[in-house]
Amino acid sequence: MIDGCMCGLIDHILDLSTKSSIKPKKVLDLGTGTGCLLLSVLEEFPNAVGVGVDKSSEALDVARTNANQLGFGLRTQFIQSNWLNNIDSSVHRNFDLIISNPPYIAPADYPHLNPTVNAWEPVTALVANREGLEEYDVISKSIMEKKILDRDDGLLVFEIGKDQENDIVDIVQANGFKLDSMRKDLGGIFRSLAFRSHN
């Protein structure tokens, strides 16, 4: 795993790889930021290529730099887009792994965050409406509408906030996915959810 990228989502994918022989080859990271998650996946799966999407051009500049410095430049592409808005599904399709750590902090909770968190991240990268749940709805609905996830082997994995698992499962399943598995962190809190399409 890339240094400094401590994430239950990556651990979840590695668990699935061990238990189910999942070996992703085409990865999409929505809200890639610095590229940490995407590059960590590519490090673990040497035959995979990846696309990182972010609405921030500054974040994408950092992600490209990180990819090049770590030797992943030829295996990555970065696209500026607000989620899937600028993604051409005729070109970018058949992903067998889509990952995302979207904003999931409720607006009312933002002022109470540890200062070390909100000092480094813009509010738009942390806070989402509907009690922090809105982006899970937007993302899963858009993936299904664009039909970019491989119907046979595709996996969608989300990082989530504390006590959000039941609401997010309901939202994502209502958009056409089926829960595959859930993973807790060391504190016993569910931190990532994996889904497959119903197809």
Please indicate, yes or no, if residue 194 is contained in any of the structural domains: no
Task: With beta carbons less than 8 A apart as the criterion, state whether 133 and 164 touch.
Answer: yes
Please indicate, yes or no, if residue 128 is contained in any of the structural domains: yes
Please indicate, yes or no, if residue 198 is contained in any of the structural domains: no
Please indicate, yes or no, if residue 3 is contained in any of the structural domains: no
Please indicate, yes or no, if residue 199 is contained in any of the structural domains: no
- pLDDT per residue over 135-178, tens digit each? 999 999 999 999 999 988 799 999 999 999 999 999 999 999 99
CB proximity list for 76: less than 8 A, separation 6 or greater: 35, 38, 39, 42, 49, 50, 51, 52, 63, 64, 67
Please indicate, yes or no, if residue 195 is contained in any of the structural domains: no
- Specify the number of domains making up the chain: 1
CA 71 to chain centre: 21
Please indicate, yes or no, if residue 196 is contained in any of the structural domains: no
- 197 pLDDT band, cuts 50/70/90, is confident
Q: Residue 128 sits in which domain range?
A: 8-185
Please indicate, yes or no, if residue 52 is contained in any of the structural domains: yes
Q: What is the CATH number of the domain that holds 48?
A: 3.40.50.150
- pLDDT per residue over 77-120, tens digit each? 999 999 999 999 988 989 999 999 998 776 666 666 666 655 45
Candidate from 28-32, 52-56, 106-110 with smallest mean pLDDT? 106-110
